[in-house]
Amino acid sequence: MSRHRAEGPRAPWQEGTRDALTAAGLEPHWVRDLVVRALAEDLGPGWVDVTTAATVPVDDDRRAEVVAGQDGVCAGLLLWPVVLAEAASRLDLPVPTADLRVHDGAWVQAGDVLADLRGPTRVLLVAERTALNLIRHLSGVATHAAAWVAALSGTGTRLLDTRCTTPGLRPLERYAVRCGGGTNGRAGLYDAAHVTVAHAGATGSVAGALDAVRRRLPGALVQVDVRSPLQGVEAVHAGARFVVCEQMALDGLPSMVAQIRAATPERVEVACSGSYRLAQAPHVARAGVDHVYVDALVQEAPALDVGMRMY
């Protein structure tokens, strides 16, 4: 069994941390496991920062500020108390305090102080990189999502994330998308039915795949990928009420959406998915889709510059 699992001394988390994580839709035990694994990448099997142990007195206390280096939307600040507590636990030192100056989801400007930290210098130094790595990445995702939401504002088209996430970080990245004003798609393969082209091929047709899913999950809302107007109309006639135009060129998307909607008088939600870029957002919205799945939303989001300065 790995020595880097979260078993071991339990740190006294700062008051309100668990409630804040739960309110954000994050499971506290999962967050703790992730943070411990991340700290272990730096501290190794001996749980030691060799440089800090050699140069910083064990009783040295400092104050530090977490500062935005550029404008953007912050996400992941609520992880600071967890990282500080778990680092302190493994160093057997008191837990620093974290006074969060802004909430996740807030738009910040370069130079803004995001959090005030106070406590043992050794803990602050050990926690610094783990916390900043997470916050920089998550804030970058939130900022990218916010840019998409702004570009779609007033169009009636909603931004949805996809399963194109960093392995092991999906719950946090989905949280970051929400911080940026976006909407989460399905969490995984388990919580919603989504018939892809491959599934349709396995059963012989879109209608056949949709029928197979409906027999197994009666009454479930099933999303269906289509790549041509003919497949879209077939899906609607087979009972699909959530159709995803997959990898469609923008010039053909408006016609496809119109044909799908014309196939039934009932309400059909139409989405599109593909490698769309932010500059294309207005063109996607003008096609008349209800939702746009952006594959690059998470994996191509540039990190937001966030740093820590110590006093």
Q: What are 6-15's pLDDT values in tens digits? A: 555 567 899 9
Q: What is the DSSP letter of 251?
A: G
Cα–Cα–Cα angle for 203, 206, 209, rounded to 5 degrees? 45
- What pLDDT does 248 receive? 86
Per-residue CA distances from 267 to 26, 153, 225, 240, 258 (Å): 33, 22, 17, 10, 13
- What pLDDT does 3 receive? 46
> Is 62 in contact with 106 (CB distance < 8 Å)?
no
- What pLDDT does 218 receive? 86
% of the chain exceeding 70 in pLDDT? 97
- What pLDDT does 9 receive? 54
Q: pLDDT, tens digit, for every residue of 20-48?
A: 999 999 999 999 999 999 999 999 999 99
Q: What is the DSSP letter of 188?
A: S
Three-state secondary-structure class, residue 296: helix
- What pLDDT does 220 receive? 79
State the pLDDT confidence band at 221, using cuts at 50, 70 and 90.
confident
pLDDT beyond 80 at 5: no
- What pLDDT does 6 receive? 52
Question: What φ, ψ does residue 47 adopt, rounded to 5°?
Answer: 50, 55
Say yes or no: do domains 17-149+302-310 and 155-299 share a fold.
no
Residue 47, Cα to own-chain centre: how many angstroms? Answer: 29
pLDDT beyond 90 at 192: no
129 token code pair: 């990189």
Exposure pattern of 257-268 as b/e (b: 16+ CB <10 Å)? Answer: beebbebeeeeb
Distance, CA of 269 to CA of 276 (rounded, Å): 19
Name the residue with tokens 């349709």: 200
- What pLDDT does 2 receive? 41
Closest CA to 73 of 306, 276, 310: 306
Helices (H) and strands (E) in the chain, counts: 12, 12
Cα–Cα–Cα angle for 95, 101, 103, rounded to 5 degrees? 105
Q: pLDDT, tens digit, for every residue of 71-117?
A: 999 999 999 999 999 999 999 999 999 999 999 999 999 999 999 99
Given CATH 3.20.20.70, say whether it is the number of domain 155-299: yes
User: Going by DSSP bridges, is the β-strand pair 222-226/97-100 parallel, antiparallel, or unpaired?
Assistant: unpaired
Domain boundaries, the chain: 17-149+302-310, 155-299
- What pLDDT does 1 receive? 34
Mean per-residue pLDDT, 148-159: 96
pLDDT beyond 70 at 4: no
Closest CA to 41 of 171, 130, 169: 130
Question: What φ, ψ does residue 263 adopt, rounded to 5°?
Answer: -75, -15
Q: Which CATH class is domain 17-149+302-310?
A: alpha beta
